[in-house]
Amino acid sequence: MDHNRELLAALIAILLLTAVYLPLVLLGPPRPSSLVGHGIGIVGFLMMLATETLYSLRKRSRRVRWGRMRTWLQVHIFMGIVGPYMVFLHTGFQFAGLAGVTMLLTATVVASGF
């Protein structure tokens, strides 16, 4: 299957997020505990959670058809790339302790999807 559209959309979203986040970093890096930091982290986490649960539920449901599998896969790919990136922004790219190890493992899982 060719997933260039989803990858391009994810790249554009990452570039837009970076363009919004970069000026904040130049003013003084937002702390993960700040409003911006929490917001980015929560949205990223929800995207990661939805990526895993909703796609899996749709894939396994035989009785109820909630749209085409192709569409669900496109959303799964997009959110599976953008969600972890948002969590990376939340951490400020600091990988200390258990949370840091977890994020590096998450990056490995995302990279293995390619």
pTM of the model: 0.81
Domain that holds residue 41: 4-112
Name the residue among 82, 58, 53, 81 with its Cα closest to residue 70.
Answer: 58
**Cβ(14)–Cβ(22) below 8 Å:** no
Q: What is the pLDDT of residues 64-89, one digit of tens each?
A: 777 788 888 888 889 999 999 998 88
Residue 3 clears pLDDT 70, i.e. is over it:
no
CB atoms within 10 A of CB 98: 7
Specify the number of domains making up the chain.
1
